[in-house]
Amino acid sequence: MIDAVTQFFQRALAEPTHRDDPALTLELACAALLCEIMRADFDSSDDERAALREMLVSRLSVSAAEVDELMAMAEEKVEEAIDHYQFVRLINDHYDNAQRCELVKLMWQMAWADGEVDPQEEHRIRRLAGLLYVSHSDFIRTKLAAEPRD
């Protein structure tokens, strides 16, 4: 089972031009970065997992049947990763600025999923936004757009 998961991840994180479905590679990279936000405060709540599941289904065009497997693999890959380069590189290579800003907005929504943004979550989002070449003004704009309205 673990070998199958490892093989799937190796295929999924391969260069998109060498795969049958390049979008899946990008979706895995996005899922991994969102998992990184979910675990940034060292407390992955059920609300955060539900928010991640919803994001993957609705915004990243992943079918409901693939979501649980994708989430498990993304969480495992984030645990094993030394840095974010493998995820960020794929996104920077294939997403334009608007798509990268949308991803940062999803990160903020993930951080708000449990009702509050932990300073560690904000720090992680700030760091990833920088690696994704999202400007500071877009970073702030996405933060404000993601804040829940009372």
What pTM did the predictor assign? 0.77
pLDDT tens for 55-101 read: 888 876 667 777 888 887 787 777 777 777 888 999 999 999 999 99
- Burial class for 107, CB neighbours closer than 10 Å (0-12, 13-18, 19+): buried
CA gyration radius, the chain: 14
- In whole angstroms, what is the distance from residue 147 CA to residue 112 CA? 7
2-146 topology per CATH: TerB-like (1.10.3680)
| Structural contact between residues 57 and 67, judged by C-beta atoms closer than 8 angstroms | yes
Per residue in 5-62, pLDDT (tens digit) is 455 445 544 444 444 444 447 888 888 899 889 888 777 777 788 888 888 888 766 6
Residue 12 CB partners (closer than 8 Å, separation 6+): 19, 24, 25, 28, 73
End-to-end CA distance of the chain: 45
